[in-house]
């Protein structure tokens, strides 16, 4: 429940919820503390298979998303998606050697 989740986090944390355009029909908001985005919430209900639980995914800011994918592969990690350009920057989903998922993003300052 995107709206309920956003209300919850903005009530529990000292954060202001701000809608952010994604360039498509996806709903995305940032949780801003002192005017700076610290986390984001995306309404992924329409893109996830039934039964997938809500989850947090970590984004690391990288100088070069494409280079980060190469480096991950050279170090027993894996790229799980091709890089995607978005208004927020170029990002891709990776997996570390122990199976943890994370994104790298470059381009726009987060």
Residue 25 pLDDT grade (very low, low, confident, very high; cuts 50, 70, 90)? confident
pLDDT of res. 109: 58
- Residue from 21, 38, 20 nearest 29 by CA: 20
Verdict on whether the full-model pTM lies above 0.85: no
Question: What whole-number distance in Å separates Cα of residue 85 and Cα of residue 107?
Answer: 9
> What is the arithmetic mean of pLDDT over 66-73?
95
The fraction of the chain above a pLDDT of 90, given in percent, is: 41
List, in sequence order, every beta strand (DSSP E) within the chain: 16-19, 28-33, 36-42, 58-61, 78-79, 84-86, 89-95, 101-106
3-class SS of residue 2: helix
pLDDT of res. 5: 87
> What is the arithmetic mean of pLDDT over 38-57?
80
């Amino acid at each position: 429940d995107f709206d309920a989740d956003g209300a919850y986090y903005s009530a529990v944390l000292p954060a202001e919820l701000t809608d952010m355009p994604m360039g498509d029909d996806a709903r995305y908001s940032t949780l801003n503390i002192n005017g700076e985005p610290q986390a984001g919430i995306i309404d992924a209900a329409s893109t996830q298979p039934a039964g997938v639980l809500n989850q947090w995914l970590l984004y690391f800011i990288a100088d070069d998303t494409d280079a980060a994918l190469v480096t991950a592969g050279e170090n027993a990690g894996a790229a799980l998606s091709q890089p995607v350009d978005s208004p927020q920057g170029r990002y891709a989903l990776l997996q570390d050697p122990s199976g943890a998922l994370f994104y790298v993003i470059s381009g726009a300052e987060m």
